[in-house]
Structures are given as C-alpha cells and as structure tokens.
Chains A and B, each alone.
Chain A
Amino acid sequence: MFDLKGYGPELAAGALVTIELAFLSLALALTLGLLGASAKLSGNRFLAGFAATYTTLIRGVPDIVMMLLFYYGGQVGVNMLSDYLWEAYEIDFFFQFDPFISGVVTIGLIFGAYMTETFRGAFLAVESGQIEAARAYGFTRWHTFRRVMVPQMLRHALPGIGNNWQVLLKTTALVSIIGLTDMVRVAEEAAKAERMPFHFFIPVAAVYLALTAGSELFIKWLDKRAHAGVVQGS
C-alpha cells in the first residue's frame, strides 16, 4: 500500500526543502518582528509610522499575490538594474531570482508583520516597574532591552510565536506554485504522472500534520519551561 512508485527519495528531499524554507523564514520573521515591535514602541514618529505602514500593507494582501510579485517582479527589477549598471558604468552584474529565496523573503516579510504585533503586545505586557528598576540601577537603554525586557517579553510572546509558526508552516506549501520543488510540487507531479492523487497527496498531508503536531508539543514544553518559577493564580 505504501509503494511510492519510486518517488520516495524525491518526496523526502522535498520534505527537507520545506523544513529548511520554514526555518529560514522563521528566522527572518523573528528578526523583522523584533525590529518592527521596537520601531512601533520607540516613540520615534517616523519609525513608528514606517512599522505601522509595513504591518498594515502586509496584512491586507494575500500571501500568494505577494509571492508572485516578488518572484516575477524581483527578476524584472534585477534585470532593469543590471541593464542600467551595464549602460551607465559597464559593471557586469546579474542575479538569478530563484523560487527558494523569493519564498523565504516573502514568507519572512509576511510573518514579520504578524510577529511585530505579537512582540509589541508582549513588550507592553512587561511590567513598567521592571524597566524603572533597571533604569534606577543605571542600565543603559540597550542593557534594559537585552537583560530585562527581552527575557520577560519572551514568556508573553511564546503562545503568539507558536501560532504564527503553525500558520507559517502551512504557508510554505504555496512556494510550490512559483516552482520550488518542495514536497507539494513533487507530489503534484507524481500524482499527475501516475494518475493517483490520493496516493501521493495523503502522505504529504500526513507529513504536514506530523510537523504541526510535533511543533505543538514542542511549544507546550517551551511554554512550561518559560513559566518555570512563575506562580500562576487559578
């Protein structure tokens, strides 16, 4: 029953691509989220406005449209730049936009916006007394941020990060549309060639299910660790 008609290794390689894509996008999203939340809370009107525009724009547009724009538009943009550089300065510059990079950038940008909101809420949940105490001890702004705010904020941010991660994981399936040979793409080609859709899509669905279920357990464990020593009223 579990005969994958010789597509097994390709599917496994595809699954690895999916996982790599998900982790790289997560890293980018977390970085952008921290930057975005810091910008929103910085008190600087220009920075806050910029971050607000970023999160609003991203949340108004479907992920797949953004991906198509980056993938096709990115290449056209690079071509224009390379033409210009050649004509103006005779510099030979070319860069092939590949689906993997476009996928990481788009998913990172999209979830960066969601992470911004998560981190913003978490930063606001840190007691102001903690920050005042740090300042009273003579901590600089950077030290307060790194030693006091971030460690305490993470505890509040964890459930939000977990939710975003689950959605991100499922969003990686879309990168198959712009031609990345991930698990979904391999399954699609195999299903078409062998005319056996259930045979190939159901194992792929099961891999996604295993990934989301595994993440859920891991996040629960992390949450428990993050709450070590916190007395919770019930």
Chain B
Amino acid sequence: MPEFIVEWLNQNDIFTAMTLMEYWDGLVTTVHLVFLSLIIGLVVAVPLAILRTVKNPFVSGPIWLYTYLFRGTPLLIQLYIIYYGVAQIHGIQDSFWWEIFREPLYPALLAFTLNTAAYTTEIIRGAIVATPHGEIEAAKAYGMNWFLRMRRIILPSAARRAVQAYANEVIFMLHASAIASVVTIVDLTGAARNIYSRFYAPFEAFIFVALCYMALTFLLVFAFRKLEKRLLRHQRPVSS
C-alpha cells in the first residue's frame, strides 16, 4: 500500500471500527426498509394495475385518484402526514397498534410502500395497455379465459415492457429512502448525520455515504441489466 494511505489510516479518528459499525447498521436499515417497501409495493401494484385498466370508472377511478395523489405530492409530506398523523388517531395509543406505530420504522415503511405502489401501478398499467392487440386476439382464439390470458400472455409480456421503467423506480426508491433519517430512523444517511454532528466533519461523513449509495445504485443497475437481458433473450440477434 502506498505510504500516504497507511499514514492517513493511522491518523484518522473518524473511520474507526465503531463508526464503521454505525455505517454498517445504517446500511442494513436502508436495505431492509427499501427491500420491504419495494416487495410489498410490487405485490400491491400488480392487482391495482390490472383493476386500473378495467373500463368501469367505479373500479378504475379510485385507483387513478390514489396514484394521482401519491404521485403529485412530495414523499416527504406523505411521510410527515403518516408519522405525525398516526399518533393523532383517536384511541390508537391504547390499542396494540401503538406498539407497532410508535417505532418510526413502520410509519416510514407504510409511506414508502404507498408511494412506490402508486408509481409501480402506473408503470405496470402502461405496460399492460401497450400489449399488442394481436397477442390478445390470438389468446382468445385459443380459447383462453380472462384469467389464463392475463397470467400467460398479458402479464409476462407487460413485465418485459415494464422492467426498464421499474429499474428506475427501484433506484428512485433507494435514493428517496434517505429521507427516513428526518423521522429519527438511523439509516445510512442518519448514520452520516450522527457522525457529522459528532466530529463536525461534513466531507468525510457525507462523501462516504454518497459512495455507499453509489455502490448500491450500480449494483442495482447491473442486476437489472442482467434481468432485462434474460427477459428479452428471445429478441437477441442470432449469432452466426
């Protein structure tokens, strides 16, 4: 190792084992929060997207309103409304829900899930609507009923069209999760803010987390590129 790096490592008081553990715990919280909200959000979004394409306005209307409201307002406000709002619900402080919602993690999880579900619903809806009509006609000609058609033809084909936009949404969610630190959750950004205020060292504290987020982002980009290649392998040019 070059001399100056060794010297720097010996001299630095900030990146000790203790602060690195704090960053690690923050990383675990961030990944935990983002992963859970994305999974739950996706599970919620698929049926909502299907219902959103239904012609009946009493079915699609409320879902449209939900996605419109959550996509038209900042996530920070949604988080504040849920975080400060649950404590105000009459009688919640005496019920068992209070044990869950007293922790800031669950209001944040709820806000992130609702937000990502709204965006994902619109992404999947767009992909469903863009299904080539011939594919649906062919499925009907084979005598497939609505459910089978959805499962075997429309959703797999929509997934291929949605994967790129969904990858962007996942990265957006990872970056948006950094605001969890404002409701006292010690995620990656929360750890950086604590370490900044302890050492008054903004560059070390924040550049280090920026690099952590960047590494996570590139990991996700790489994974989604692999997935996309796999999903679209039938379109790959034939190699001679």
Contacts and interface: CB of A to CB of B under 8 A. Distances in A.
Contact of B77 (A68, A184, A192): A184
Contacts of B67: none
Interface in A140-179: 170-174, 176-177
B178 to A, nearest CB: 4
Contacts of A177: 76, 179, 182
B209 interface: yes
Given A68-B193, A69-B207, A72-B206, 11 more contacts: A61-B213, A62-B176, A64-B189, A66-B210, A72-B202, A173-B76, A174-B74, A177-B179, A187-B80, A208-B77, A212-B73
Nearest to B83: A197
Interface string A52-74: 00000101111111101100110
A191 interface: yes
B81 A197 contact: yes
A173 B74 contact: yes
Contacts of B75: 170
Interface of B: 69, 72-78, 80-81, 84-85, 88, 171, 174-179, 181-182, 189, 192-193, 196, 200, 202-203, 206-207, 209-210, 213-214, 217-218
Given A68-B189, A76-B202, A170-B73, A201 B81 contact: yes
Nearest to B171: A59
B179 A64 contact: yes
Contacts of A75: 202
Nearest to B201: A76
Nearest to A110: B175
Nearest to B188: A65
A181 B32 CA distance: 32
A209 interface: yes
A83 to B, nearest CB: 15
B72 A209 contact: yes
B85 A197 contact: yes
20 contacts: A61-B217, A62-B177, A62-B178, A62-B189, A63-B175, A64-B178, A64-B189, A65-B192, A68-B192, A69-B207, A173-B76, A174-B76, A177-B76, A177-B179, A177-B182, A197-B88, A201-B77, A201-B85, A202-B81, A209-B69
